[in-house]
Amino acid sequence: MSGTPAIAAFQGRVTCRGDQLPLALTLVGRTASAPEEPVTLTFAFAEAAPPAMPEVLEDVRVERIEAGGFHISSGSRHWDVPALSCHLHRDVAAAFFQAVVPRKPRWSRRLFWSTVLALLAHPWIKRLLLAFRRR
Protein backbone atom coordinates (compact mmCIF):
# COMPACT_ATOMS: atom_id res chain seq x y z
CA MET A 1 0.00 0.00 0.00
CA SER A 2 3.02 2.30 0.14
CA GLY A 3 2.49 3.44 -3.49
CA THR A 4 -0.43 5.74 -2.67
CA PRO A 5 0.09 8.95 -0.72
CA ALA A 6 -0.98 8.80 2.90
CA ILE A 7 -4.03 10.73 4.03
CA ALA A 8 -2.51 10.88 7.50
CA ALA A 9 0.73 9.57 8.94
CA PHE A 10 0.50 9.67 12.72
CA GLN A 11 3.62 9.63 14.86
CA GLY A 12 3.62 7.96 18.24
CA ARG A 13 0.52 7.07 20.26
CA VAL A 14 -2.87 7.19 18.48
CA THR A 15 -6.17 6.76 20.32
CA CYS A 16 -9.03 4.89 18.56
CA ARG A 17 -12.57 5.80 19.55
CA GLY A 18 -15.73 4.10 18.43
CA ASP A 19 -19.07 5.88 18.19
CA GLN A 20 -22.45 5.48 16.52
CA LEU A 21 -22.99 5.53 12.76
CA PRO A 22 -22.29 7.46 10.58
CA LEU A 23 -19.09 8.71 12.29
CA ALA A 24 -18.27 5.41 13.93
CA LEU A 25 -14.46 5.51 14.06
CA THR A 26 -12.13 8.32 15.12
CA LEU A 27 -8.34 8.35 15.35
CA VAL A 28 -6.72 11.03 17.53
CA GLY A 29 -2.99 11.71 17.62
CA ARG A 30 -0.16 13.85 16.28
CA THR A 31 1.40 13.77 12.82
CA ALA A 32 5.07 13.82 11.92
CA SER A 33 4.57 16.91 9.74
CA ALA A 34 3.07 19.00 12.59
CA PRO A 35 3.76 17.33 15.95
CA GLU A 36 2.61 20.39 17.93
CA GLU A 37 -0.95 20.20 16.52
CA PRO A 38 -3.38 17.47 17.63
CA VAL A 39 -5.07 15.80 14.64
CA THR A 40 -8.44 14.04 14.53
CA LEU A 41 -9.32 11.72 11.65
CA THR A 42 -12.98 10.66 11.57
CA PHE A 43 -14.36 8.00 9.22
CA ALA A 44 -17.92 8.20 7.87
CA PHE A 45 -19.74 4.89 7.33
CA ALA A 46 -22.98 4.18 5.47
CA GLU A 47 -24.32 1.00 7.03
CA ALA A 48 -21.38 -1.25 7.81
CA ALA A 49 -19.77 -0.92 11.21
CA PRO A 50 -16.03 -0.39 11.41
CA PRO A 51 -13.76 -3.33 12.25
CA ALA A 52 -12.88 -3.94 15.87
CA MET A 53 -9.70 -2.03 16.63
CA PRO A 54 -7.57 -1.69 19.75
CA GLU A 55 -7.97 1.43 21.89
CA VAL A 56 -4.35 2.53 21.34
CA LEU A 57 -2.11 2.17 18.29
CA GLU A 58 1.43 3.34 17.48
CA ASP A 59 2.68 5.09 14.33
CA VAL A 60 -0.50 4.79 12.26
CA ARG A 61 -0.64 5.36 8.50
CA VAL A 62 -3.97 5.83 6.67
CA GLU A 63 -4.26 5.45 2.88
CA ARG A 64 -7.16 5.41 0.43
CA ILE A 65 -7.86 2.06 -1.29
CA GLU A 66 -8.60 2.18 -5.02
CA ALA A 67 -11.58 -0.16 -4.63
CA GLY A 68 -13.13 2.16 -2.04
CA GLY A 69 -12.50 2.55 1.64
CA PHE A 70 -9.30 3.08 3.57
CA HIS A 71 -6.31 1.05 4.68
CA ILE A 72 -5.08 1.62 8.26
CA SER A 73 -1.71 0.18 9.23
CA SER A 74 0.17 0.20 12.52
CA GLY A 75 3.42 -1.74 12.57
CA SER A 76 2.71 -5.26 11.33
CA ARG A 77 -1.06 -4.96 11.90
CA HIS A 78 -3.48 -3.55 9.33
CA TRP A 79 -7.19 -3.07 8.74
CA ASP A 80 -9.25 -2.34 5.64
CA VAL A 81 -12.04 0.04 6.62
CA PRO A 82 -15.14 0.22 4.35
CA ALA A 83 -15.78 3.90 5.05
CA LEU A 84 -17.34 6.30 2.54
CA SER A 85 -15.09 9.19 3.47
CA CYS A 86 -12.80 10.51 6.16
CA HIS A 87 -12.53 13.96 7.68
CA LEU A 88 -9.19 15.32 8.88
CA HIS A 89 -9.32 18.03 11.55
CA ARG A 90 -6.30 19.96 12.80
CA ASP A 91 -6.24 22.20 15.86
CA VAL A 92 -4.96 25.49 14.45
CA ALA A 93 -5.68 27.63 17.52
CA ALA A 94 -2.00 28.17 18.35
CA ALA A 95 -1.15 29.28 14.80
CA PHE A 96 -4.22 31.52 14.67
CA PHE A 97 -3.48 33.33 17.91
CA GLN A 98 0.16 33.70 16.90
CA ALA A 99 -0.87 35.38 13.64
CA VAL A 100 -3.60 37.62 15.11
CA VAL A 101 -2.09 40.14 17.51
CA PRO A 102 -4.56 41.21 20.20
CA ARG A 103 -5.30 44.92 20.35
CA LYS A 104 -4.64 46.62 23.66
CA PRO A 105 -7.59 48.83 24.67
CA ARG A 106 -7.14 52.54 25.32
CA TRP A 107 -6.03 53.54 28.81
CA SER A 108 -9.37 55.32 29.46
CA ARG A 109 -11.38 52.19 28.71
CA ARG A 110 -9.09 50.07 30.90
CA LEU A 111 -9.46 52.60 33.74
CA PHE A 112 -13.26 52.68 33.37
CA TRP A 113 -13.69 48.89 33.50
CA SER A 114 -11.18 48.50 36.33
CA THR A 115 -13.14 51.05 38.37
CA VAL A 116 -16.51 49.46 37.60
CA LEU A 117 -15.30 45.98 38.53
CA ALA A 118 -13.61 47.23 41.69
CA LEU A 119 -16.82 49.00 42.76
CA LEU A 120 -18.94 45.91 42.04
CA ALA A 121 -16.70 43.89 44.34
CA HIS A 122 -18.23 45.73 47.34
CA PRO A 123 -21.55 44.23 48.50
CA TRP A 124 -23.21 47.55 49.42
CA ILE A 125 -22.66 48.97 45.90
CA LYS A 126 -24.07 45.78 44.42
CA ARG A 127 -27.19 46.16 46.62
CA LEU A 128 -27.54 49.81 45.61
CA LEU A 129 -27.40 48.96 41.89
CA LEU A 130 -29.92 46.17 42.34
CA ALA A 131 -32.25 48.56 44.18
CA PHE A 132 -32.10 51.01 41.24
CA ARG A 133 -32.83 48.19 38.84
CA ARG A 134 -36.02 47.17 40.67
CA ARG A 135 -37.56 50.65 40.39
What secondary structure does DSSP assign to 79-119, as a single string? EEE--SEEEEEE--HHHHHHHSPPPPPPHHHHHHHHHHHHH
Query: What's the predicted TM-score (pTM) here?
Result: 0.64
pLDDT of residue 17 exceeding 90, the answer is: no
100 versus 114: which is more confidently predicted?
114
pLDDT of residue 106 exceeding 90, the answer is: yes
Q: Percentage of residues in the chain with pLDDT exceeding 90? A: 13
Composition of the chain by helix, strand, coil, percent to 5: 25, 40, 40
Which of the four pLDDT bands, split at 50, 70 and 90, describes residue 28?
Answer: very high
Which of the four pLDDT bands, split at 50, 70 and 90, describes residue 110?
Answer: very high
Question: What pLDDT was estimated at residue 43?
Answer: 86
Question: What pLDDT was estimated at residue 3?
Answer: 60
Question: What pLDDT was estimated at residue 113?
Answer: 93
Which of the four pLDDT bands, split at 50, 70 and 90, describes residue 49?
Answer: low
Answer for the pair 24, 45: CB distance below 8 angstroms, yes or no.
Answer: yes
